[in-house]
């Protein structure tokens, strides 16, 4: 398995070296061709997907998981459209990040260049295969795709169609390769191919991400675990606070930018806690609350530290009353996953102090946590949401899939 993964990585390096000097026009044409080819291949993709769905059903996989796995013509069209959207975005490669002429006449430019070979280790949905390949390609990188074994037929079919299409358009087919998903070892070898693979991005549940972070010797960008808080400040507009809590918790529960924890300033607890408890209850949300919340409704369960730390991804929330903004920040720093923290306040000072103190990829002031999303923030395509501090933090789009080179030009300059 090691030799297989290393060989794939070496072929990817050759492809990446050529992609690095491929102009935007050719990359975009290849992405559009891949989009058309995927739509055209819908019958084959659905047939491959049916094998995965049948196997999942035979294994007793729950229907909501099967729903994420299953493809139909609309879903194929959606990820083809995703590739067209990526083609329409500006090419990050060649962007001059900074530049100046130095006192001695040297001309210095910091220029965006591709990272090289990127490994994706991901679960579930087959659309990640097309999305990740498209984003990596556009930024001039080769990608090794290691999806879950439950989607192996679907992923292999998507990769086959994309490889054929981009090769016809003049890109090296090896810029997009699937790594066999049947053997656990293939993921391990991928994350330990230091020197051959430049970056590994895990995308999936907390367990997957933790395993990659611990075992990888290749640099990793962590994505996506979100224990997001909404803090209702003493100066909050309580109608706005209620809207934001309900939206952040209930609009879509299975996503990393959904709220999992609610903190309420003591000054507004009497006015707000009963209202929010009633609204959450009406929406079917289970509340794990501190005594103030339990007092508002006996259906509230007593909260534990585990609840405060949990990413429920369900109609479930932890809740507590805090004595001050600083106590809220302290609570968040203790339990957060550094994804998104929201404050509802009409105080400028509170907003600024909260934003400077919570240590998160994103801070929402009077807005739902659900806005931490590449699409919502106008970045176009997104390959994941980084919750770490190095290289990329928050939604990662095309620029985050590049590194830079300083190009310094002189006329024989020496020191």
- Selected from 53, 364, 383, 396, the binder of a second copy by CB under 8 A is 364
The Cα 51–Cα 214 span in angstroms is: 33
Residue 282 contacts a second copy per CB under 8 A: no
List the interface residues with a second copy, window 97-116 (CB under 8 A): 100, 102-103, 106, 108, 110-111, 113, 115-116
**Segment near a second copy (CB under 8 A), from 27-35, 39-47, 146-154, 212-220?**
212-220
With contact defined as beta carbons under 8 Å apart, do 364 and 389 qualify? no
77 versus 237: smaller Cβ distance to a second copy: 237
Print the binding letters for residues 385-404 with a second copy: x by CB under 8 A, - otherwise. ---xxxx-xxx-------xx
Closest to 385 (Cα-Cα) out of 226, 224, 225: 224
Report, in Å, the least distance between residue 5 CB and a second copy: 19
Residue 317 contacts a second copy per CB under 8 A: no
Look up tokens 């600024």; give the residue.
352
Residue 302 contacts a second copy per CB under 8 A: no
Report, in Å, the least distance between residue 88 CB and a second copy: 17
Residue 198 contacts a second copy per CB under 8 A: yes
- Selected from 80, 130, 285, 367, the binder of a second copy by CB under 8 A is 367
Report, in Å, the least distance between residue 112 CB and a second copy: 11
| 97 contacts: CB under 8 Å, gap ≥ 6 | 110, 111, 112, 404
Residue 73 contacts a second copy per CB under 8 A: no
Measure Cα distances from 27 to 58, 193, 272 in Å.
41, 27, 53
* 274 burial level (CB within 10 Å; 0-12, 13-18, 19+): middle
Residue 324 contacts a second copy per CB under 8 A: no
Residue 20 contacts a second copy per CB under 8 A: yes
Residue 251 contacts a second copy per CB under 8 A: yes
Closest to 39 (Cα-Cα) out of 150, 162, 148: 162
Measure Cα distances from 96 to 100, 111, 114, 403, 407 in Å.
10, 4, 13, 12, 10
List the interface residues with a second copy, window 119-158 (CB under 8 A): none
Residue 407 contacts a second copy per CB under 8 A: yes
- By DSSP bridging, strand 384-386 and strand 394-396 are antiparallel
The Cα 403–Cα 400 span in angstroms is: 8
List the interface residues with a second copy, window 213-232 (CB under 8 A): 213-214, 217, 219, 221
Measure Cα distances from 231 to 161, 176, 180, 296 in Å.
47, 43, 44, 18
Residue 77 contacts a second copy per CB under 8 A: no
30 versus 118: smaller Cβ distance to a second copy: 118
In terms of residues, how long is the chain?
415
Residue 11 contacts a second copy per CB under 8 A: no
The Cα 293–Cα 297 span in angstroms is: 7
271 versus 299: smaller Cβ distance to a second copy: 271
**Segment near a second copy (CB under 8 A), from 82-90, 180-188, 209-217, 268-276?**
209-217
């Amino acid at each position: 398995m090691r030799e297989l993964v290393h060989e794939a990585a070496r072929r990817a390096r050759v492809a990446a070296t050529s992609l690095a000097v491929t102009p935007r026009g050719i990359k975009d044409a290849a992405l559009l061709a891949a989009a058309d080819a995927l739509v055209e291949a819908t019958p084959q993709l659905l047939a491959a997907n049916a094998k995965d769905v049948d196997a999942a059903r035979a294994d007793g996989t729950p229907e909501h998981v099967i729903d994420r796995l299953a493809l139909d013509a609309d879903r194929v069209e959606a990820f083809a459209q995703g590739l067209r959207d990526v083609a329409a975005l500006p090419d990050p490669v060649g962007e001059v990040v900074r530049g100046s002429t130095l006192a001695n006449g040297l001309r210095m430019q910091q220029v965006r260049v591709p990272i090289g070979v990127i490994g994706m280790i991901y679960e579930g949905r087959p659309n990640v295969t097309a999305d990740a390949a498209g984003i990596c390609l556009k930024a001039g990188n080769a990608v090794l795709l290691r999806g879950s074994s439950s989607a192996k037929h679907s992923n292999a079919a998507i990769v086959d169609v994309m490889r054929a299409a981009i090769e016809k358009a003049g890109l090296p087919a090896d810029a997009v390769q699937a790594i066999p998903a049947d053997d656990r070892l293939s993921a391990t070898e991928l994350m330990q191919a230091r020197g051959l693979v430049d970056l590994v991005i895990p995308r999936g549940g907390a367990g997957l991400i933790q395993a990659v972070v611990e075992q990888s010797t290749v640099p990793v960008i962590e994505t996506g675990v979100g224990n997001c808080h909404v803090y209702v400040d003493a100066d909050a507009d309580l109608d706005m606070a209620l809207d934001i809590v309900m939206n952040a918790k209930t609009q879509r529960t299975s996503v990393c930018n959904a709220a999992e924890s609610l903190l309420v300033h003591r000054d507004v607890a009497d006015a707000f806690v009963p209202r929010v408890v009633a609204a959450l209850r009406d929406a079917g949300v289970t509340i794990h609350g501190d005594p103030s919340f339990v007092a508002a409704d006996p259906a509230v369960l007593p909260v534990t530290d585990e609840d405060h730390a949990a990413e429920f991804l369900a109609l479930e929330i932890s809740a507590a009353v805090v004595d001050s903004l600083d106590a809220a920040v302290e609570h968040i720093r203790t339990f957060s996953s550094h994804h998104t923290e929201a404050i509802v306040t009409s105080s400028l000072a509170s907003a600024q102090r909260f934003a400077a103190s919570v240590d998160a990829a994103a801070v929402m002031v009077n807005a739902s946590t659900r806005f931490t999303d590449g699409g919502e923030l106008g970045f176009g395509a997104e390959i994941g949401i980084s919750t770490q501090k190095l290289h990329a933090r928050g939604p990662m789009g095309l620029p985050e899939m590049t590194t830079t080179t300083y190009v310094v030009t002189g006329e024989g300059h020496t020191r």
